[in-house]
């Protein structure tokens, strides 16, 4: 089992390090060579090169929004697709304006598109935010397929729910990045509670027994 998160040697960043951990994935030379061959694919190679170039040019200066625009320009992506959460409509409108002001075409699809009731996919009343009332289900597959239909060059997500974002990534034809990761508790900054895992948020990460609302 690989456990890079616990490694203190970082042999991957220091060529020639002789004492790699026994479970270091770099010991698997055959698999690593096979993987590296994938960078021979023109799209993979170009995306890898331009991603590194954007990192170098804007390191510590550009916010993620700017990085996405810079990468899109370098890759020749002009028609961008935004899959966003209904709860972040305000943010999505601002993002759309910024991108259009910078010369991009923007296709945006809200998560509730289709207007299907949550019950239609087997979601129980007790699992709804407001039991007994109509609630439209999140529809990430439709978000992906509608962007596919619009032939977007590059897609990004804004606040899709955990799991719903996974379905969007699965069905999107275009490559996908994440602009905003949803975290309602931490003002959409998932790293915040992690920094405080040993103090203010220490009880949040403990398993709990599910109770009714």
Question: In a structure prediction context, what are the per-residue pLDDT tens digits for the chain, which is 213 residues long?
Answer: 999 999 998 989 988 777 889 999 999 999 999 999 999 999 999 999 999 999 999 999 999 999 999 999 999 999 999 999 999 999 999 999 999 999 999 999 999 999 999 999 999 999 999 999 999 999 999 999 999 999 999 999 999 999 999 999 999 999 999 999 999 999 999 999 999 999 999 899 988 765 555
Q: What are phi and psi of 82, to 5 degrees?
A: -115, 120
For the chain, strand residue ranges (E) read 79-84, 105-110, 154-158, 175-180
Give the tokens for residue 143.
């978000």
**pTM score, two decimals?**
0.92
56, HSE (Cβ side, Cα atoms, 13 Å) = 6
| Residues contacting 91, CB < 8 A, separation 6+ | 84, 158, 159, 180
User: What is the residue whose two structure tokens read 């309602």?
Assistant: 184
CATH of 62-182, one of 3.40.50.1860, 1.10.10.10, 3.20.20.70, 3.40.50.1780: 3.40.50.1860
156, HSE (Cβ side, Cα atoms, 13 Å) = 21
Predicted pLDDT at 17: 77
């Amino acid at each position: 089992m690989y456990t890079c998160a616990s490694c203190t040697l970082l042999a991957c960043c220091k060529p020639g390090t002789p004492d790699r951990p026994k479970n270091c994935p770099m010991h698997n030379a055959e698999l690593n060579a096979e993987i590296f061959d994938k960078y021979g694919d023109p799209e993979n190679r170009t995306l890898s090169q331009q991603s590194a170039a954007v990192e170098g040019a804007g390191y510590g200066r550009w916010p993620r929004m700017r990085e996405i625009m810079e990468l899109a320009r370098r890759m020749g992506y002009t028609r961008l697709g935004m899959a966003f959460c209904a709860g972040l409509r305000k943010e999505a409108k601002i993002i759309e304006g910024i991108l259009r002001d910078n010369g991009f075409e923007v296709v945006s699809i809200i998560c509730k598109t289709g207007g299907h009731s949550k019950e239609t996919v087997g979601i129980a009343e007790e699992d709804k935010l407001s039991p007994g009332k109509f609630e439209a289900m999140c529809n990430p597959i439709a978000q992906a397929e509608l962007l596919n239909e619009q032939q977007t060059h590059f897609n990004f997500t804004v606040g899709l729910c955990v799991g719903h974002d996974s379905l969007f990534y699965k069905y999107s034809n275009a490559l996908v990045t994440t602009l905003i990761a949803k975290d309602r508790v931490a003002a959409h900054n998932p790293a915040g509670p992690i920094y405080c895992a040993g103090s203010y948020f220490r009880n949040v990460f403990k398993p709990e027994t599910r109770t009714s609302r």
